[in-house]
Structure 1
Amino acid sequence: MTSAHLIPSHAARPADDPIFALNREASARKAKGESIINATVGALLDDEGKLAVLPTAARAVREVPEGDWAAYAPIAGSPDFLAAVMDDLLGTEADMRACAVGAATPGGTGALRHAIANFLEPGQELLTTGFFWGPYQTLCDEADRKVKTFPMFAGGTANATTDAGRQAMRVDVEAMDRALGELVSKQGRALVFLNDPCHNPTGYSMRKEEWRAVVECLVSHGKRAPVTLLVDTAYFAYNPHDPRAFLAELRPLLGHVGLSFAWSASKTFTHYGLRVGAIVACVPDEAARKATEAAFSYSCRGTWSNCNRGGLTAVTKLLRDDAMRAASDTERDALKALLGARVRAFNAATEGRNLAYPRYEGGFFVTVFTDDAQGRAAKMREEGVFVVPQKGAVRVALCSVAERDVPRLVDALAR
């Protein structure tokens, strides 16, 4: 009888996120003394299984005055915070920075929410890759929007069992072009989410030539209707190469395609529970820029009202104080080295094991392709190894697996 008060479309929603449920099961079994490898946790752990925290970021949080923790933040976030985020994200791109506006959000998730709500009408579809972070779907469900996908990799995944095959893999821009064309014709507008670099869940990072092809596709369709690209940069700080190098390839979008970013402090500063993020949009036209800024602020007021002022203060200091920023960068480099060692161990252990996965150079996750994700994940759980089953693959969170445990993890994947 209770569910009768819920609207029908909400009455059968799942009570728990499946990843959190798997993590809870793994933790419970470990607490009983089992030898468990938990490759479900989407946070960077050290080799002893403890949350890896940047000491300087923790100090910045401790040093926030109590008044900042207690007071409301401005609805769209403090101007100092927004300027610091835009400088951090777009400091190498003067034209993008000059026309950037934004709003503070509770983590990168809030930025994704604002993009869906402001760039798509109710009932319309978001376009993203076939492998994507599950909450994209949840966010669309909550906003009365839908998700449409295109096959992520050209030619499929059959050749992804060797290093040569992985190096040859490319994002399927032709499939993206077809899907985008269908949406533009159907909706009269389109919003595209691309999570890069260090894509969740595959670990894939696009090369410059792939970005160029994507940009050409977007500009072509942008001539027919309003098209917006949102780049989800959640993991970009852990790219082993220059994390901002791809931005140069986006320059042709300005004035032709809407360009937005979801920025998150969660991974960058290892404070996932602080819930600090931002949506940033690059809008060359002044009137459109003011309207975009107002729309973001209105959305803030209509959802979470405002963000955590103490968190905004701490992150602003980490971005603006030269000494703290340098110290954080050094500490993060150490974590990137820790993660890099696991990535190399994984790539070495998979040689000759007939495991198909994309080119993987860095990032929290990698995806191993399989036709029976649920079955494979269930068998692995019997061995005490936990991964996340998804459509056509299992997601492996190397961010939470000690380097010494990688061989056992790969053995379980290969069986």
Structure 2
Amino acid sequence: MFESLKPQPADKILMLMQTFRDDPRTDKIDLGVGVYKNAEGLTPVMRAVKAAEHRLWETQTTKTYVGLLGDPAYSDAMIDLVLGDAVPRASVAAAATPGGTGAVRQAFELIRYGNPEARVFVSDPTWPNHLSILNYLKMPVVTYRYFDAETGGVNFAGMMEDIAQARPGDVILLHGCCHNPTGANLNRVEWQAVIDSMLKTGALPMVDLAYQGFGDGLEADAEATRMVAAAMPETLIAASCSKNFGIYRERTGLLMAISADASKTPLARDTLAFLNRQNYSFPPDHGARVVTTILTDPVLRADWASELEETRLSMLNLRQQLADELRQQTGSDRFAFLAQHRGMFSRLGASPEKVEQLRADNGIYMVGDSRMNIAGLNSKTVPILARAIAQAGI
């Protein structure tokens, strides 16, 4: 059997990581990998996470299985964080998942299970793994225009024209905040227009919320997701704890299925449990326990929120510094959009050839479409990057 297996295309970001590791230059800069790094280039364990893990170590008495949907206390804590009081708790079915990716995968499985004919509309561009999973599941995909490379903002007119082609039962995949890979986001008025379009066409929204707290703050970053959930008859939300809690390797996520008709919640819950059973049975629990401990303890929650805010502000400061340095180096404001973007990522607007030039000449690594991780910078490397961009004629 094994000889009949076909080689799979290599993941471009993982390939980039390996190339970076193999580069002997000591002044190289990694802007490719999608994890938060502090000024020292480390991905630290947050203070509240350390405290919560210590508490679990002292008090946990068993490692037996939890339920198929995970610990209900974790679901409750995450629903409160993401949705607040936007919808009644009785309207939300939730399943713990292995990370945000697991939540995305289970959402796609649920869509395929409930409506095999559904098309999934995805932004152009989107997180590559969205497309990879959809293609693996052989689900029909339609792209909608999103990023305007000329302005560095959202091509909102194109987006609205494209999602208006959705049919009842189709799914519109939306980034709740901090769009990956572009960093360009919709404003509140535009979000309302998207909601109105989905209500008109009968499309179902699926929100991927991977960066709550990394953009404009915990509450502000949840606003669009709450607007969608409150307005739509049904909504899917895939939430991740990897970034805002810094627990990447613990694989901690949650899938929420929301219905305006609470009588549908038990069936949705049972279906999520069934899908979990088919894929991995019981979800991971350690990260979920850590998150629950933090969110349900006022002192730990305040400390976590404070450290998360420091992280958010540091990225905003780096964005502004880079935009200012580029203005000085190039004598133009064409990179001002970098300060307006939110989250870890921005698309620089460079060609693959220019991206390769930055790597070859300066040891600056970013994804071939010019997506760069702002959190890979620090105050010392920002001027280096700005000079390299100007010298490359980008």
TM-score, structure 2 normalization: 0.89
Q: Structure 1 68/112 Cα, relative in aligned 2: closer, same or farther at 3 Å? A: farther
Q: Does the aligned pair in 1 maintain the 2:204–2:235 contact within 8 Å?
A: yes
Q: Structure 1 384/84 Cα, relative in aligned 2: closer, same or farther at 3 Å? A: same
Deviation at 1:264, TM superposition (A): 1.0
- Tell me the residue number matched to 1:293: 269
Match of 1:239 among 210, 215, 229: 215
- Tell me the residue number matched to 2:309: 333
CA-based RMSD: 2.3
Match of 1:367 among 347, 355, 361: 347
Deviation at 1:412, TM superposition (A): 2.6
Give 3-state SS (helix, strand or coil) of 1:70's partner: coil
Q: Does the aligned pair in 2 maintain the 1:129–1:151 contact within 8 Å?
A: yes
Give 3-state SS (helix, strand or coil) of 1:237's partner: coil
Q: Does the aligned pair in 1 maintain the 2:94–2:272 contact within 8 Å?
A: yes
Q: Does the aligned pair in 2 maintain the 1:107–1:266 contact within 8 Å?
A: yes
Structure 1, unpaired ranges of 5+: 161-165
**Structure 2 Cα separation of the partners of residues 301 and 273 of structure 1:** 22
Q: Does the aligned pair in 1 maintain the 2:347–2:371 contact within 8 Å?
A: yes
Q: 1:110 aligned to 2:113?
A: no
**Structure 1 Cα separation of the partners of residues 177 and 230 of structure 2:** 19
Match of 1:322 among 275, 298, 303: 298
- Which amino acid in 2 is paired with 1:238? F
- Tell me the residue number matched to 1:163: none
Match of 1:211 among 191, 195, 199: 191
- Which amino acid in 1 is paired with 2:80? D
**Structure 2 Cα separation of the partners of residues 124 and 61 of structure 1:** 42
> CA offsets, 1:197-242, max 9 Å, x none?
11111112221011011011110001xxxx2211111112112252
Q: 1:197 aligned to 2:180?
A: no
Give 3-state SS (helix, strand or coil) of 1:128's partner: strand
Aligned length: 381
Match of 2:240 among 264, 267, 270: 264
Match of 2:145 among 148, 151, 163: 151
**What does 1:1-400 align with in structure 2 at a 5 Å threshold?**
2-4=2-4, 6=5, 11-14=6-9, 16-29=10-23, 32-65=24-57, 70-93=63-86, 95-120=87-112, 121=115, 125-153=119-147, 156-158=148-150, 160=151, 169-172=153-156, 174-184=157-167, 189-222=169-202, 227-241=203-217, 242-247=220-225, 249-250=227-228, 253-255=231-233, 258-351=234-327, 352-353=331-332, 354-355=334-335, 360-370=340-350, 372=351, 374-382=352-360, 383-390=362-369, 394-400=370-376
TM-score, structure 1 normalization: 0.85
Q: Does the aligned pair in 1 maintain the 2:154–2:184 contact within 8 Å?
A: no
**Structure 1 Cα separation of the partners of residues 215 and 335 of structure 2:** 23
> CA offsets, 1:141-163, max 9 Å, x none?
2222243211104xx432x2xxx
Deviation at 1:183, TM superposition (A): 4.3
> CA offsets, 1:117-143, max 9 Å, x none?
111355753211101101001111222
Structure 2, unpaired ranges of 5+: none
**Structure 2 Cα separation of the partners of residues 69 and 122 of structure 1:** 40
- Which amino acid in 1 is paired with 2:7? A
- Which amino acid in 2 is paired with 1:297? A
Deviation at 1:47, TM superposition (A): 1.1
Give 3-state SS (helix, strand or coil) of 1:266's partner: coil
**Structure 1 Cα separation of the partners of residues 22 and 98 of structure 2:** 29
Give 3-state SS (helix, strand or coil) of 1:193's partner: strand
